[in-house]
Amino acid sequence: MKLIEPKKTFEIEPRSKAGNSSRGKIGTGRETLRLRSKGPATVEEVPSETKAKAIEKVDDLLELYMGIRDIDLATTMFEAGKDKGNPDEFALALDQTLGDFAFPDEFVFDVWGAIGDAKRGGL
């Protein structure tokens, strides 16, 4: 014996308030969705071109001195130094934020130079 399931019917109706679902949610277009292997996905603002170039320079310095490429680490280093007034303040901020890395002084000074170049470039 074969069972026959009753057919389900759905009524399709036009959306009410069409087009309002995204109103108020439209941003500047300068955001990106960041998917992480651990933790939730986040929406982050895309850095300005000047900031992106500075972060890229810091990443290049990481490769030159440490042999690694890590854009997240480069971004963290940039953020730690963007509001500092001199290399000593920057070095202290790096020690507080990333003290486990024990970066060489020459590297810290070169990173400070890259951040300073970005500041003068209009950051």
CA atoms of 59 and 27, how far apart (whole Å): 28
pTM above 0.75, yes or no: no
* Domain residue limits, the chain: 51-120
The whole-number pLDDT of residue 50 equals 81
pLDDT along the chain (123 residues), means of 10: 63 62 54 76 75 93 94 94 92 91 92 89 63
Geometric angle at alpha carbon 98, from 37 and 78, rounded to 5°: 80
